Amino acid sequence: MKNRKVFLAFTLSLMLSAGTVLTSCQKEAAEQTADTEHDAAVTTEAVPEEEDADDYIPPVYVECANEEIHDGKLILVNREYGYDDSFNANLVNIYANKSDNYTVDGSTMELDRDMLNAINTMLDDFAAKTGITNVIANSGYRSFEEQKQMYDDDLEATGLTESELVAPPGHSEHHTGLAMDFAVASGDGYPALKNEGEYKWIYDNAHNYGMFLRYTSQNRHITGYMAESWHFRYVGPVHASLIWKMGVAYEEYIGFLKDFEFDNALEYRHSDTEFYRIYYVPADLDSDKTEIPIPYEAFGTGADKWEYDISGNNADGFIVTVKIPELSPDYDDSYLYLFNSNPELADYQSPDEEEYDDSSEYADDTFDSTDSSAETEETEAESSSEGNIPDSEGEAGW
């Protein structure tokens, strides 16, 4: 859904005075529309007059096909919600596009372009800070076929009819291209990345680059998977930092956002200068399309028009993220503490990031629950006996 903005700025400016506008969510359809209307587009009316004395300007509606709930950076993929591969991930080759400050397992692995850029920047900064360059991008995008192979291998190895370890094909977050497993090249082989020593920096800062740790011992009762200190998910810095500050599982986060619709959107102070409005739009089940309300200010020709993004949640609707110039006077960020009130989570992710330092104990035990450490050891043992970079078979599909 990336290039939609450009088109909208171009086409909608001529239609805004008519009030509510419908246009397409899809880039291809949008471009077609732009072609057929290019004559009319010349007669652009820049900024419409506010015809009502009222300050209220109704939103502009962007029409999305309901199936597009399966597309976008925020899709939730888990045991319940599988990945719809009719929406091609925006994959690039890691080896050809990575920075010099880490290595990748093999030359054919792929990843979402935005996530790869985020990893490049993060590990460049990590190397600048610590001098460490031995992190390995160990497992990125996986096709359904690769996942099926891993799944079948696990069934064969265990004799089970349903794997307890490997996500079934279609339900691995790795299908999205928005997940990466990290390992470390050390004298002991290639163990999974862990939140310890200098590597703590990655765990404390990944959210600034748009990534978060997907499976922790604190959220395993929600995700249904054991803690994985190596598996990071990309959603972009705005949502990753919110997830980090709130200390929520991704399943909880997607559920939480459903409380906020266009007229009572969540506001978020991302930094001293960056503010966002985030809201959920349920898919219109009476139709095969959903009209997504977008603030009027996101359209027009001025440099100050608001930026926005629409992503499906892969479950039942869309999440809209709008960058706004200022917060409401009654902005209240107490929601950040809703989930952190859980004492287990509070130990792990304090909302006050400045409290973190090397002596902090907030995450020392995070990946050391009996089950997860056993699992990690299995991965390590396997890899060192084979003498090459682990292929994630031990942690497999999630």
Q: Are 318 and 281 contacting, i.e. CB atoms less than 8 angstroms apart?
A: yes
Task: Give least dist CB 139 to Zn ion, A.
Answer: 6
- Comparison of 137 and 322: residue with beta carbon closer to Zn ion: 137
Task: Give least dist CB 398 to Zn ion, A.
Answer: 6
Task: Give least dist CB 397 to Zn ion, A.
Answer: 8
Any bridge partners for residue 182, and if so which? 137
Four-residue CA torsion sign, 195, 201, 205, 206: negative
Residue 110: what residue type?
E
- Comparison of 14 and 150: residue with beta carbon closer to Zn ion: 150
Find the distance separating the first CA and the last CA of the chain, reported in whole Å: 25
- Comparison of 98 and 231: residue with beta carbon closer to Zn ion: 231
Residue 178: is it exposed, middle or buried by C-beta count within 10 angstroms (0-12/13-18/19+)? buried
Helix (H, G, I), strand (E, B) or coil at 192: strand
- Comparison of 4 and 175: residue with beta carbon closer to Zn ion: 175
Contacts of 344 (CB under 8 A, 6+ apart): 218
Query: DSSP string of 267-294?
Result: EEE-SSS-EEEEEEEE--TTSSEEEEEE
Task: Give least dist CB 326 to Zn ion, A.
Answer: 39
Task: Give least dist CB 117 to Zn ion, A.
Answer: 19
- Comparison of 26 and 139: residue with beta carbon closer to Zn ion: 139
Binding site for Zn ion (CB under 5 A): 181, 231
Task: Give least dist CB 395 to Zn ion, A.
Answer: 6
Closest CA to 384 of 166, 147, 185, 135: 185
Task: Give least dist CB 98 to Zn ion, A.
Answer: 18
Task: Give least dist CB 146 to Zn ion, A.
Answer: 12
The radius of gyration of the chain from alpha carbons, rounded to an integer in Å, stands at 22
| Residue closest to Zn ion (Cβ) | 231
- Comparison of 292 and 396: residue with beta carbon closer to Zn ion: 396
- Comparison of 230 and 308: residue with beta carbon closer to Zn ion: 230
Strands (E), the chain: 22-24, 60-65, 91-93, 103-104, 110-112, 135-139, 179-184, 211-213, 231-234, 266-269, 275-282, 289-294, 308-312, 317-324
Give dist(CA 71, CA 289) in Å, integer.
14
**Assigned token pair, 105:** 């397992």
- Comparison of 231 and 239: residue with beta carbon closer to Zn ion: 231
DSSP-derived letter for residue 29 is H
